Amino acid sequence: QVQLVESGGGLVQAGDSLRLSCAGSGRSFSMYGMGWFRRAPGKEREFVATISWSGGTTYYADSVKARFTISRDNAKNTVFLQMNSLKPEDTAVYYCAASIRGSSWDDRMYDYWGQGTQVTVSS
């Protein structure tokens, strides 16, 4: 079993950057594909980015491509989401998730979820 805890959210202005972290428990963390998802007020949860267990494969939603970067440090059981050039439409609760099936854009493939961290971008 994997427990996930996100951190790094906050209130920033448009154009600023934030780095989210997701700390995972368990010795098998490196076996999981990891993903970041977000839920904006009044909207459904949506895919943001995913990374394979080795970190060799990444995939992004079109809305964040070239602005966000997902990475992982398996030695520290941590996944990161570097967010640059933030926009007000990036405002959401951001969740990390772990999938034994590997990296995926589909939230149904994920087995474990964190509690989320709030990101608010003012204009």
pLDDT given for residue 61 in this prediction: 98
User: What pLDDT does residue 28 have?
Assistant: 86
Residue-by-residue DSSP string for 97-113: EEETT---S-GGG--EE
What is the per-residue pLDDT for 49? 98
pLDDT score recorded for residue 7? 98
pLDDT for the residue 25: 92
Q: 10-residue block means of pLDDT along the chain (123 residues)?
A: 95 98 89 97 97 96 98 96 98 97 96 97 96
The pLDDT, as a whole number, for residue 58 is 98
Q: Alpha-carbon distance 52 to 33, whole Å?
A: 5
Q: Which amino acid is at 95?
A: Y
CA distance 123 to 72: 30
pLDDT at 63: 97
Supply the DSSP string of 61-123, one letter for each residue.
-TTTTTTEEEEEEGGGTEEEEEE-S--GGG-EEEEEEEETT---S-GGG--EE---EEEEEE-
- Report pLDDT for 78: 96
